[in-house]
């Protein structure tokens, strides 16, 4: 089990003492005292105070600016402080590989029984090859490290795979982390692949390196204490991905039903490259979102007939029997059932085959979500109009469902009949660009119902303006929950806990 370490990156001893107590209350295993962040640091006074009063084991670091830290002085002052930390009983001290040999020569060969020396190397530009990382591990071990620490930077999410591979084969205790949002999986999966510890910041503002999750996220969302070597890895492959609530939803549901899996946000630039890199049976399934849903069809070994008809995949499953990647689409059921229930709720009509039958639905967007909504609406007997910024893509999708194509700008005056339905299947209005909307407010009066696939924020500008015009609205939260239920069942082989999913979605969206 990897330890969870909270870096303390405040500027006064008093703040560090408060943050140590906070780290303990949040569930951290140890704290990293970053001496280089302290203003007016007085080693003879501050170190005894911090170490003697520690509520948790401490890792003491005094990082110089040439290795990404704040300290700008000479090594002799730094070395003296780190030696004092060892003498005062610090459980760990971190020293940079570049000066490790020099530092080690100044400390006693007889180290305290409870003390471990971490020798570290940081690369803030890239992640080297597996061969170079392995050579770096050997160099760190050779200078006398008790624990190897290597932190690199992910330019692409596939960079994390190299760190994982080296960590798995390292015979010494190792901290292997890949910085930036694209390297997040290396931090969360540390216990799965044999990492000694991972860092979790106290809150959003207090990170010591790019891409650190919070302690609360590690413990309460990713359930890092339950991650083992046999834990299945799943996740949302998207760009952007930070705004998604899928990791919260799936991880809380996995924990509730006792499923041994962890669901990650996976910021991928190239879906095919990502899937070619993470071929291991450990990676058992993925959700697929913008901008990868259409490309995903061609990345699968097999595609469910409905997903192939739609031309978009939002769920990828690695079949255990043969390792083949199978693509499904749960978006269309999620969106269409939400729209149908919205129509039923706003109408006094009795049950019919589908309340969409014979209705005119305007689908905004011709990407993966737009394809799913258009396909589902056609299957339910609706007449489909597709509006898209790129008109040629609107024409292509409209032709595939026997519908009509519009340019996005034409929505302002499109009003062939009363009682139309509008479905936004673009990212317009999604956090952080919450002022976006696909259609002028004045044109919303032409519609009886407006559906928005965007669920972050829960009430988008489009929905707010539709509501102000007296139009029935259906939030993207409905589609989010319903498509997630289908994915959960593909991921786990269990029935989705619908009531729990709704509760989580309402709380976090």
DSSP characters for 457-499?
Answer: SSS-HHHHHHHHTT-EEE-HHHHHHHHHHHHHHHHHSS---HH
Quick one: 296 and 358 in the same domain?
A: no
Q: Is residue 488 part of a domain?
A: no
- Name 490's Cβ contacts closer than 8 Å, sequence gap at least 6: 285, 315, 317, 328, 330
Overall pTM surpassing 0.85 (yes/no):
yes
> What whole-number distance in Å separates Cα of residue 170 and Cα of residue 189?
16
- Catalytically annotated residue among 293, 371, 378, 380: 293
To the query of whether residue 22 is one of the catalytic residues in this protein, the response is no
Quote the DSSP letter at residue 213: P
Q: How many residues does the chain have?
A: 509
- Structure token pair of residue 338: 């939400």
Percent of the chain whose pLDDT exceeds 70: 99
| Displacement of CA 170 from its chain's centroid (Å) | 27
Query: Which range marks the domain in which residue 171 is found?
Result: 3-229
Last residue of a domain, one of 328, 359, 386: 328
Could you give the strand order of the β-sheet that contains 315-318, starting from the edge strand earlier in sequence? Answer: 261-267, 232-238, 283-288, 315-318, 325-328, 302-303
Please give the pLDDT value at position 206.
83
424 closest CA partner among 436, 442, 413: 436
- Structure token pair of residue 347: 């109408």
**Phi and psi (nearest 5°) for 260?**
-85, 75
Cross-strand partners of 176: 150
* Contact assessment for residue 294 and residue 371, using Cβ atoms and an 8 Å cutoff: yes
* pLDDT digits 0-9 by tens, 263-287: 999 999 999 999 999 999 999 999 9
Last residue of a domain, one of 328, 363, 391: 328
Q: Is residue 504 part of a domain?
A: no
- Catalytically annotated residue among 36, 331, 371, 380: 331
* Contact assessment for residue 420 and residue 361, using Cβ atoms and an 8 Å cutoff: yes
DSSP code per residue over 242-266 = TT--HHHHHHHHHHHHT--EEEEEE
392 burial via Cβ count (<10 Å: 0-12, 13-18, 19+) = exposed
* pLDDT digits 0-9 by tens, 290-336: 999 999 999 999 999 999 999 999 999 999 999 999 999 999 999 99
108 burial via Cβ count (<10 Å: 0-12, 13-18, 19+) = exposed
Quick one: 416 and 461 in the same domain?
A: yes
CATH of the domain at 252: 3.40.50.10860
Please give the pLDDT value at position 509.
86
Among the residue ranges 207-211, 245-249, 379-383, the one predicted with the least confidence is 207-211
Quick one: 98 and 20 in the same domain?
A: yes
> What whole-number distance in Å separates Cα of residue 461 and Cα of residue 464?
5
Three-state DSSP at 152 gives: strand
Q: Is residue 126 part of a domain?
A: yes
266 closest CA partner among 293, 246, 295: 246
DSSP code per residue over 198-210 = EE-BSSTT--SST
Please give the pLDDT value at position 350.
52
Please give the pLDDT value at position 247.
98
User: Rounded to 5 degrees, what angle do the CA atoms 306, 325, 180 make?
Assistant: 110
CA within 13 Å, CB half, 16: 27
- Catalytically annotated residue among 19, 46, 94, 149: 149
- Structure token pair of residue 272: 């095919």
Quick one: 295 and 406 in the same domain?
A: no
Please give the pLDDT value at position 352.
60
43 closest CA partner among 60, 23, 66, 19: 60
Three-state DSSP at 119 gives: strand
> What whole-number distance in Å separates Cα of residue 55 and Cα of residue 57?
7
Residue appearing with tokens 């043969």: 322
Quick one: 99 and 217 in the same domain?
A: yes
Quick one: 361 and 465 in the same domain?
A: yes
User: Rounded to 5 degrees, what angle do the CA atoms 111, 114, 120 make?
Assistant: 70
In this prediction, residue 348 has a pLDDT band, given cuts at 50, 70 and 90, of very low
Quick one: 338 and 469 in the same domain?
A: yes
Q: Is residue 479 part of a domain?
A: no
CATH of the domain at 85: 3.20.20.70
Over residues 471-477, mean pLDDT: 97
pLDDT score of 338 more than 50: yes
Residue appearing with tokens 């930070």: 242
Please give the pLDDT value at position 263.
98
Over residues 385-402, mean pLDDT: 98
In this prediction, residue 346 has a pLDDT band, given cuts at 50, 70 and 90, of low
Q: Is residue 482 part of a domain?
A: no
pLDDT score of 219 more than 60: yes
Among the residue ranges 104-113, 177-186, 370-379, the one predicted with the least confidence is 104-113
Over residues 2-12, mean pLDDT: 97
365 burial via Cβ count (<10 Å: 0-12, 13-18, 19+) = buried
- Name 292's Cβ contacts closer than 8 Å, sequence gap at least 6: 237, 238, 239, 268, 271, 368
Cross-strand partners of 266: 237
Please give the pLDDT value at position 347.
56
Q: Is residue 497 part of a domain?
A: no
Q: Is residue 255 part of a domain?
A: yes
pLDDT score of 448 more than 90: yes
Quick one: 259 and 158 in the same domain?
A: no
Please give the pLDDT value at position 351.
61
- Catalytically annotated residue among 122, 232, 245, 490: 122
Over residues 347-358, mean pLDDT: 74
Quick one: 303 and 361 in the same domain?
A: no
Q: Is residue 359 part of a domain?
A: yes
- Structure token pair of residue 334: 């999620």
> What whole-number distance in Å separates Cα of residue 393 and Cα of residue 106?
68
* pLDDT digits 0-9 by tens, 74-113: 999 999 999 999 999 999 999 999 999 999 999 977 789 9
Name the pairing type of β-strands 197-199 and 147-153.
Answer: unpaired
* pLDDT digits 0-9 by tens, 153-171: 999 999 999 999 999 999 9
Structural domain count, the chain:
3
Q: Within 10 A of 190 (CB to CB), how many other CB atoms are there?
A: 27
Last residue of a domain, one of 328, 357, 386: 328
Three-state DSSP at 315 gives: strand
Quick one: 197 and 49 in the same domain?
A: yes
* Contact assessment for residue 413 and residue 297, using Cβ atoms and an 8 Å cutoff: no
CA within 13 Å, CB half, 196: 17
| Displacement of CA 172 from its chain's centroid (Å) | 29
Quick one: 307 and 347 in the same domain?
A: no
Q: Within 10 A of 205 (CB to CB), how many other CB atoms are there?
A: 7
Quick one: 297 and 389 in the same domain?
A: no
To the query of whether residue 371 is one of the catalytic residues in this protein, the response is no
């Amino acid at each position: 089990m990897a330890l969870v370490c909270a870096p303390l990156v405040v500027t006064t001893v008093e703040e560090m003492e408060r943050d140590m107590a906070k780290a303990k209350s949040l569930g951290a295993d140890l704290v990293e005292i970053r001496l280089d962040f302290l203003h007016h640091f007085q080693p003879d006074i501050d170190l005894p105070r911090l170490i003697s009063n520690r509520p948790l084991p401490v890792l003491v670091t005094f990082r110089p600016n040439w290795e990404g830290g704040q300290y700008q002085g000479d090594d002799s002052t730094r070395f003296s402080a780190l030696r004092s930390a060892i003498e005062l009983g610090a459980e760990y001290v971190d020293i940079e590989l570049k000066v490790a040999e020099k530092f080690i020569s100044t400390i006693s060969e007889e180290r305290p029984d409870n003390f471990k020396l971490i020798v570290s190397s940081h690369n803030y530009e890239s992640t080297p090859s597996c061969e170079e990382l392995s050579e770096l591990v050997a160099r760190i071990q050779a200078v006398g490290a008790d624990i190897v620490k290597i932190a690199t930077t992910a330019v692409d999410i596939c960079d994390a795979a190299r760190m994982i591979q080296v960590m798995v084969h390292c015979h010494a205790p190792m901290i292997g982390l890949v910085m930036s949002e694209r390297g997040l999986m290396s931090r969360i999966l540390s216990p799965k692949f044999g990492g000694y510890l991972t860092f979790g910041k106290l809150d959003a503002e207090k990170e010591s390196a790019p891409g650190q999750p919070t302690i609360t996220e590690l413990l309460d969302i990713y359930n890092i204490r339950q991650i083992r070597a046999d834990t299945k890895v799943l996740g949302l492959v998207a760009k952007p991905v930070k705004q998604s609530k899928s990791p919260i939803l799936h991880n809380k549901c996995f924990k509730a039903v006792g499923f041994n899996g962890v669901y990650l946000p996976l910021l991928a630039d190239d879906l095919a490259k990502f899937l070619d890199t993470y071929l291991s049976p450990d990676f058992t399934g993925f959700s697929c979102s913008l901008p990868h849903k259409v490309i995903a069809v061609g990345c699968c070994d097999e595609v469910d007939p409905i997903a192939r008809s739609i031309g978009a995949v939002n769920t990828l499953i690695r079949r255990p029997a043969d390792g083949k990647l199978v693509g499904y689409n749960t978006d269309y059921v999620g969106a269409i059932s939400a729209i149908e229930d919205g129509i039923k709720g706003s109408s006094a009509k009795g049950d019919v085959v589908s309340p969409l039958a014979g209705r005119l639905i305007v689908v905004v967007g011709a990407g993966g979500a737009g394809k799913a909504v258009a396909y589902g609406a056609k299957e339910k007997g609706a007449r489909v109009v597709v509006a898209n910024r790129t008109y040629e893509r609107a024409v292509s999708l409209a032709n595939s469902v026997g519908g009509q194509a519009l340019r996005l700008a034409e929505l302002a005056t499109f009003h062939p009949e009363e009682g139309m339905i509008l479905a936004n299947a673009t990212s317009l209005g999604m956090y952080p660009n919450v002022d976006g909307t696909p259609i002028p407010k004045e044109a919303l009066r032409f519609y009886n119902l407006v559906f928005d696939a965007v669920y972050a924020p829960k009430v988008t500008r489009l929905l707010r303006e539709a509501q102000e015009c007296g139009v029935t609205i259906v939030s993207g939260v409905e589609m989010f929950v319903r498509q997630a239920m289908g994915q959960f069942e593909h991921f786990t082989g269990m029935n989705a806990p619908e009531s729990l999913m709704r509760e989580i979605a309402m709380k976090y969206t």
